[in-house]
Structure formats: structure tokens, C-alpha cells
Amino acid sequence: MSLAPVKPAALGTTDRFLPVWILAAMALGLALAVFVPAFGDALHGFSVGSVSVPIAIGLLVMMYPVLAKVRYSDARAVAGDRKLLVSSLVMNWLVGPALMFALAWAFLPDLPEYRTGLIIVGLARCIAMVLIWNDLACGDREAAAFLVAVNSVFQVIAFSGLGWFYLQILPSWLGLATTSASFSLWAITLSVLVFLGIPLVAGYLSRRLGEATRGRTWYEGMFLPKVGPFALYGLLFTIVMLFALQGQQVIDRPLDVVRIALPLLVYFAVTFIVGFVLGKLIGLSYERTTTLAFTAAGNNFELAIAVAIGTFGATSGQALAGIVGPLIEVPVLVALVYVALWLRPRMFPAKDTRPIHPERPVADRV
């Protein structure tokens, strides 16, 4: 099949207007926060520990179809791609946190609470929405599932230690102000188990049982097209819930939100571009380069918000920084999906780029 750039005419209505749907979901959430404040109050009370049940439901619905589409037998081969694995670990656990630390201090030297919140966001590596952005941009689905699993393990092991390093040790070495913070290992583990563990197990069992009982042709030709659209529904629902829950804080402190948003915009753009260029330089295909870039650029906002609230309180500046994170990340990474598709034919020769499921439009790949 031709590898010409994706053109709007080739996409379905849902695909061409995807940014419109996302903006509409954001607007609906803000409207609920402003005009129906009782709705947000009710959502705030609907939590189990540090996990917001409505957002958890949205993320699970969003992630299940993507993980059900992964060919897990093929994913094993990804583990043998050392260039991808090493570059992903470097981007996620060295470049990402260090860049966020530098940006937080550069943009917010006089606002320690927001600065600390941003550093926490930089430590929470993405294990959820990145699968959506990767799929929309025609990334390697199996590689994304593998890297997300690796990030989850590292998150449980390394989050607390990195938090101590970036909030206490490194600032002390540089003669900067330090911040004391304690991180709950249970909150980190719970985030990984809920937002990755449940949909991963469900997706794996669907693939194994579906193929074992009805065959791969039925599973991929009949079952997956039926569950696929629920990823988009889950994404939009999650966005509405996020803005309904946190929108009032954003509206009440607009100037603070702008100051927090600026380093976040730089962070998302720089990590994506560095990941994309790195993938090209080390010889990865477009699909795996895209996966590398998106897994580096995304963040686990649920974990960041939970840690900030649990450590510093729901009304703290650290919590507001965590809240602004996903509100900026969603529209920016949607835009980067289109950037990746635009770069595809320009940076990767046709022989290095394989169309993924060309018979289906973008939204069906979600």
C-alpha cells in the first residue's frame, strides 16, 4: 500500500474531527465544574484510597481495546530489541526527570510548590494514555505494551528514590532550596496495578481465549472492530471527568495555570522531538521510533496527582501542578500525533515504514 502522507479525505468523520471531540470533552468538563459544582463535589467523594473511581473507569475502558489488540506472541520479540529498550529507559528515567527538573527551576524559581509539583509529574512515567497516542500515530502496538510494562516495574522500584534525589540531593549539590517529601510505595503500586494491571490482564486473556476458541481471523475481523470504538469513548469520558473534577481550580487561578503550563509545553515538545530524532539516529523503524517518542513524552498523571495530594494536600500548589499536567498533556499529545504522521513520509523511506492495519482508519486503531 502507498505510504503517502495521511490525508483528511482518507479518514472517517470521527478521525478528521478527533481534536474537535477532545476540545468538546474539555469544554463539557469545564462547564460542569463551573455551572454544576455539586457534580465535581460528588466525583471528589467517589474515590477508593487515592484512586478516583470515575477516572479509573474511563482509563480502563480506554485501555482495554488497545491491549486486546496487542499480539502478545509478537511482543516477546520486542524484548530482544536492545536499542529500543535501552533508549526508552534512558529517555524515561534519565532524560525525562532531568529535563523536568531543569524546566521547573528555570520557569518557576520563585514558586517552590508548583516547582515541586512539576518535578513529581516528571517522575511519573506514562502507563496509560500513551497507548492511545501511540496507536493513533501508527506506532508499534506490541513495543508500546512492552515498554509500558517495563516503565511500570521501574516506577514501583525507582519513583521514591528519584523523588528523594531530585527534591533533596541534587538541589543540595547545586546550592538550591530542598524539599522534604515522603512517597507512599502503596500509592505507586496501586496506580500501576489499577491503570495497567487490570486492562493488561483483560486484554491478554481476550486475545488468548478468543483465538483459542474462535481463531485469529474471527478475533481480529469480528471481535476487535466491535470493542475498538470504546477506546475513544473511554478517552473522552476520562477527559470530561478530569476537567469536571479539577476545572474549578484551573479557572480560579488562571495566571498560575499559565506559569505551570509553559514548562509543561516545553517538556512535552522537547521529549517527543528528542525521542523521535533518537529513534531515527539509532536506526529504528517509524513504528518503533513513534513508540519511543510517545512513551518518553507522556506522564502518569493519576500517580502524580495522587502523590501530590497525599503528600502535600488537595489544595496545595503541588497538587495544582499535578492537575494542570494532564490538562496540558492531552491537547499537546493529540497535536503530536499529527506531527508524527506528517513526519512519517518525510523522515522514513518507504522501505523502512510498514503501514499498520491500513484497512482501518485511525480511530479504529485506538
Computed over every residue of the chain, the mean pLDDT equals 83
Locate 288 and state its grid cell.
Answer: 518503533
E-strand stretches of the chain:
47-48, 51-52
Contact assessment for residue 100 and residue 121, using Cβ atoms and an 8 Å cutoff: yes
Q: Convert the pLDDT of each residue in 184-233 to its tens digit.
A: 767 777 777 777 788 888 988 999 999 999 999 999 899 988 988 888 88
Give the per-residue pLDDT at 314. 64
In a domain, 168, yes or no: yes
Is 17 or 96 the better-scoring residue by pLDDT? 96
| Mean pLDDT in residue range 58-66 | 84
In a domain, 34, yes or no: no
In a domain, 37, yes or no: no
Is 364 or 30 the better-scoring residue by pLDDT? 30
In a domain, 271, yes or no: yes
Give the per-residue pLDDT at 260. 93
In a domain, 245, yes or no: no
Residue 168's alpha-carbon distances to 162, 175, 181, 307, in angstroms, are: 10, 11, 9, 17
Locate 312 and state its grid cell.
Answer: 502535600
Residue 7 pLDDT exceeds 60? no
Residue 306 pLDDT exceeds 80? no
Instruction: Domain of residue 308: give its range.
Output: 60-228+256-345
Instruction: Please tell me the total count of domains within the chain.
Output: 1
Q: How confident is the model at residue 364 (pLDDT cuts 50, 70, 90)?
A: very low
- Of 253, 271, 228, the closest CA to residue 327 belongs to 253
Above pLDDT 90, what percent of the chain? 34
Q: Distance from CA of residue 206 to its chain's centroid?
A: 23
What is the reported pTM?
A: 0.79
In a domain, 75, yes or no: yes
- Domain of 175, CATH number, reads 1.20.1530.20
In a domain, 188, yes or no: yes
Residue with cell 519513583: 159
Q: Convert the pLDDT of each residue in 273-302 to its tens digit.
A: 999 999 999 999 999 999 999 999 988 877
Above pLDDT 70, what percent of the chain? 88
In a domain, 2, yes or no: no
Handedness of CA 84, 119, 339, 31 (dihedral sign): positive
